[in-house]
Structure 1
Amino acid sequence: MVEPGNNEPLIFGFGFDEAGVAHPLTWDDVLEDGWANYKRAWLHLDRHSAQAQGWLYRRSGLEKLVVQALLQEETRPRAARHGKGYLINLRGPNLNEGALTEDLVTLRMWASEDLLITLRARPVRSASDVRKLVEEGEIPTSTGALVSAIADRLTDRMETALDEFDDEADKYEDELLDSKTKLDRSLLPEFRRRILQVRRHITPQREALNTLVRDGAQSGLFTDHDLLYLREATDRMTRLTEMLETIRERASVLYEEAIQEGTEETNRRLFVLAILSAIFLPISFVTGLFGVNLGGIPGAASPGAFVVLVVGLAVSVVGTLALLRWQRWI
């Protein structure tokens, strides 16, 4: 399902009647306060839209502090009780075309009994997933049920993204162990950076979900069924946090092993050069000595002197190899 572009303030919206039936809302309905005629409403807005920002400040009925929190540029996952509602920020993997998965997208929410407002700057597929469930009538339409469903879908998407990280770590391990494959060590620091980028938001997201589970029952916004979904999402997020930490440690070990392998390869090459230098050092000395253009060189007038010299050099090479072997250097 394709979402409208950034110039559309309302990406989608629903009004829910007393029976919980969803009725689509337009931006005109929002401007004319038509959403207030329903028992509750869900408005999914584009955070970058000037019209949406103006409505939030002037017509939504939210406190200025809440609106500022919803519209601020830099956020971390959190869940905070504010009056009769919750201010919630959650993140999910960026699954948009051409984007990096680890460049997480943010979904900001204001959740109260009669109104759920969600805002995004870039498309969030988890919100579209829940929208589809609402349109098909496969989900309760209370605010708590919608929030818990969104959290559940965000966790689903995050699991898929981290499974890809785990598969990538497996691939690097296989390449490191396979003697026929040359692992590009320059990929590992970038891999670690991507992991840390996701890890920076995973831990606070787990705490945000914990807050909803801990305080949700007292607020009356979440039913036991909603809390069950939130608790499951929290447990899965805890597992993902541990999984991400394991992947990070694996990446560190892989990098250290790759560096050690490179160092060992360099040492082997230096050792070969040292052995060759030791073998040819006596030869170089003798040939250098006999190569001077001065009188008195032994054998200069003898036709068999060259053969004797070559045999002597061969004996020197064999003797040097025997000495190195005896010393267990080769």
Structure 2
Amino acid sequence: MAQPVLPLAPLPDFNNEVAGLIHGYLFTPTAPPQRLDAREAAQMARTPYGEECFLWLHINLNHARAERWVQDHFAVDRDFFDEIHSGSPRTRLAQQNNALLAVLNDVTFSREERSAQNATLWIWCQSHLIVSARFRAVEMIERMHQRLPALEFRESEEVLLWLLGEQEAQLEQVVRRTSQAVDSIEERLLSPAIKANRSELGRLRRMLLRIQRLLAPEPAALFRLLHRPPAWLKREPLNDLRAFTEEFSVVLNDLASLMERIRLLQEEIAARLMEQSNRTLFLLTVITVLALPINIVAGFFGMNVGGIPLANNPHGFLLLVLLVLAFTLVAGWLTLRAPRE
């Protein structure tokens, strides 16, 4: 007898793995952050959880249903995911409809690999909900997660401000470490390893340009946000944003000064290499001029014709040596005398 065909079990929509939820927390002013799984977070979205409370969701975009899960259960703008798919990793902070959109970058500077790797973090923030999304693991999110009870966030924008502060600290750290590397190269400038210094400076300059493009916030979007903030954004977070803008400006000025310093060192090294090349070329020219009388005399006396002078003179070789030496001294004097004039 044929067995009845049972319907397929539906895919568990509230599983953390299926939803792509990495971290989910409910923040309340009177209690520590409460960890939520995907089912609990979706239930919190359907029920009011207090005016002074907010949700934080951190999702993994590598999961196929993560984007759909967030859109189905939370009032996140479609423009937020369009921004993610646009593929622009440059840091910026702007207003998107009635929310704040932030694109941050977490840079890992590895001296062993002689490179800088970045992981992009997209953030959508409103008064009662903040959603952060990433493809690759972001270290500053993990650092925040480890210190979450001690940070005591009271509002969603405080999470965004803390992450902005972390990025500003990263940029400052990169500038400080690169400045130390440039100091050591500047000390080795007079050493024989000029070519190695030149390649190292070129690598540092390319890395700083890339980090500046990734970590430096777009000034136009940031100034528009500061002049026309969302209605729900309070004055204190807005003042913090202005403070972060000033701190970013200071670090970016230091970065620009450091890049100018690297450019001047590259020009100095290029000038020294050019001077070495000119000295080598001058030395080769002097050797060629000094060898010219010998070549001319050897060419004349090497001809297989009759009438070669001093052929029967017993002192002919000595006379030719003296003649060649005299021409060589005159040519050398004329060659070495010209640069001094």
Q: Structure 2 length normalisation: TM-score?
A: 0.82
- CA distance in structure 2 between the partners assigned to 1:93 and 1:210 by the alignment: 24
Identify the range of structure 1 (247-256 vs 106-115) with the bigger mean alpha-carbon deviation. 247-256
Q: 1:250 aligns with which of 231, 240, 261?
A: 261
- CA distance in structure 2 between the partners assigned to 1:132 and 1:222 by the alignment: 27
Partner amino acid, structure 2, of 1:133: R
Q: 1:128 aligns with which of 142, 164, 176?
A: 142
- CA distance in structure 2 between the partners assigned to 1:36 and 1:14 by the alignment: 15
Alignment RMSD, CA only? 3.0
Q: 2:299 aligns with which of 288, 291, 298?
A: 288
Q: 1:154 aligns with which of 134, 158, 167?
A: 167
Q: 1:88 aligns with which of 90, 95, 102?
A: 102
Give CA-to-partner distance per residue, 1:131-178, whole Å, 9 cap, x none: 233223x33331122111111112112211222222233233333x22
Instruction: Rate the CA distance shift 1:34–1:46 in 2: closer, same or farther, 3 A.
Output: same
1:139 alignment partner in structure 2: 152
Partner amino acid, structure 1, of 2:333: A
Instruction: Rate the CA distance shift 1:223–1:150 in 2: closer, same or farther, 3 A.
Output: farther
Structure 2, unaligned stretches of length 5 or more?
1-15
2:329 alignment partner in structure 1: 318
Instruction: Rate the CA distance shift 1:214–1:280 in 2: closer, same or farther, 3 A.
Output: same
Give CA-to-partner distance per residue, 1:214-271, whole Å, 9 cap, x none: 444x6333452x3443333211211122122222222322333332222221111111
1:46 alignment partner in structure 2: 60
Q: Tell me the percent identity.
A: 23
Contact 1:35/1:41, CA 8 A, preserved across alignment:
no
Instruction: Rate the CA distance shift 1:269–1:18 in 2: closer, same or farther, 3 A.
Output: closer
Equivalenced residue count is: 322
Structure 1, unaligned stretches of length 5 or more?
none
Give CA-to-partner distance per residue, 1:295-325, whole Å, 9 cap, x none: 2212212222111211222222223233334
Instruction: Rate the CA distance shift 1:7–1:59 in 2: closer, same or farther, 3 A.
Output: closer
TM-superposed CA distance for 1:22, in Å, is 0.9
Partner amino acid, structure 1, of 2:56: W
* Map 1:167-316 → 2, pairs under 5 A: 167-175=180-188, 177-184=189-196, 185-216=198-229, 219-224=231-236, 226-316=237-327
2:71 alignment partner in structure 1: 57
Partner amino acid, structure 2, of 1:192: R
TM-superposed CA distance for 1:71, in Å, is 4.8
TM-superposed CA distance for 1:65, in Å, is 2.7
TM-superposed CA distance for 1:213, in Å, is 4.2
- CA distance in structure 1 between the partners assigned to 2:293 and 2:277 by the alignment: 26
Q: Structure 1 length normalisation: TM-score?
A: 0.84
